[in-house]
Amino acid sequence: MPAKALPDALADILGRVRARRPLIHHLTNWVVMNDTANITLHAGALPVMAQAREEVGEIAASAQALVVNLGTLTAERLEAILVAAAVANQRGIPIVLDPVGAGASAWRTASALHLLKERRVAIIRCNRAEAAALLDQVGTIRGVEDVGRDSAEERLTLAQHLADRFQTTAAITGPRDVVSDGKRLLAVDNGDPLLTTITGSGCMATTLVACCAAVESNGVLAAATALAAFGLAAERAAQAARGPASFKVALFDHVYNLGPADLAAGARVGWLHRRES
């Protein structure tokens, strides 16, 4: 695909979300439940947040994508996740996984790995530390932020390894977001540092990835659309923000107002060559 065509392809995917209004079933954490339901609506899709074992299979079957977010995980929710994810796999409904807190506890990491072993996940959206934990590289990455280190390079390597190991598309976000399906590599440079000052910005990005995956089977393009749109909305929101809370209000407004033409003009995305590692 020529470089010129990429922003247009993303704009087309965003337009499809708005036109089709896909239903996005979330099995997600309590902290971000309100925010991710809202951002689903603002993106043009429809949220449903049902969690009960008694109904998650039926709800998942009616959705066009399933978000599995492991924040504030409980044993009961993990059980419901496995039920919903089985239905999604049977019906070809894409699962987008956010392994929140992988590496923060042995149980959380093991739960994420169990899910990845038992169910097919279309896209993993996570940060560098979570990716490293899933790849059992916790020791080299945990702790404070590695200032002065080439993190984008490290995210590239981790994304490729995640994609290879779990036969999935991996989207690792940071100052530069990287996306890989094991064959292709893509980078997104939209975003703003204020995203790190609010809770759940990663979870919001994951929700937008699912909105796009519901209308686009190419996982790399779906993730790139969501991350570029979210980053572009953040750039616009940052302009008038007086702090993290007014930034968040503006971020949500801009996600709602961002049209396909805005994305075609403002997306800073590009293919990268696969690096040997």
Handedness of CA 228, 273, 135, 212 (dihedral sign): positive
Rounded to the nearest whole angstrom, what is the least distance from the CB of residue 53 to a second copy in the complex? 8
Q: 210 or 223, CB closer to a second copy?
A: 210
Are 60 and 23 in contact, with CB atoms under 8 Å apart?
A: no
Residues that bind a second copy (CB under 8 A): 29-35, 37-38, 40-42, 47-55, 58-59, 62, 71-75, 101, 104-108, 197-200, 242-246, 248-254, 256-257
For residue 12 the two structure tokens come to 């087309």
Question: Quick one: CA torsion of 226, 213, 170, 32, rounded to 10 degrees?
Answer: 60
> H/E/C letters for each residue in 33-100?
HHHHHHHHHHHCCEEECCCCCCCHHHHHHCCCEEEEECCCCCHHHHHHHHHHHHHHHHHCCCEEEECC
Rounded to the nearest whole angstrom, what is the least distance from the CB of residue 102 to a second copy in the complex? 12
Q: 105 or 217, CB closer to a second copy?
A: 105
Taking phi first (over 0 means left), then psi (-120 to 50 degrees means alpha), and beta for anything else, what does residue 101 get?
left
Q: 49 or 152, CB closer to a second copy?
A: 49
Rounded to the nearest whole angstrom, what is the least distance from the CB of residue 48 to a second copy in the complex? 7
Rounded to the nearest whole angstrom, what is the least distance from the CB of residue 58 to a second copy in the complex? 4
Q: 31 or 272, CB closer to a second copy?
A: 31
Q: 76 or 153, CB closer to a second copy?
A: 76
Q: Kindly list the distances between the CA atom of residue 83 and the CA atoms of 63, 77, 93, 210, in Å, as whole numbers in the listed order.
A: 14, 10, 13, 19
Rounded to the nearest whole angstrom, what is the least distance from the CB of residue 224 to a second copy in the complex? 24
Radius of gyration of the chain (CA): 17
Closest residue by Cα to residue 188 from 242, 125, 255: 125
Rounded to the nearest whole angstrom, what is the least distance from the CB of residue 120 to a second copy in the complex? 24
- Name the β-bridge partners of 61: none
Q: 213 or 251, CB closer to a second copy?
A: 251
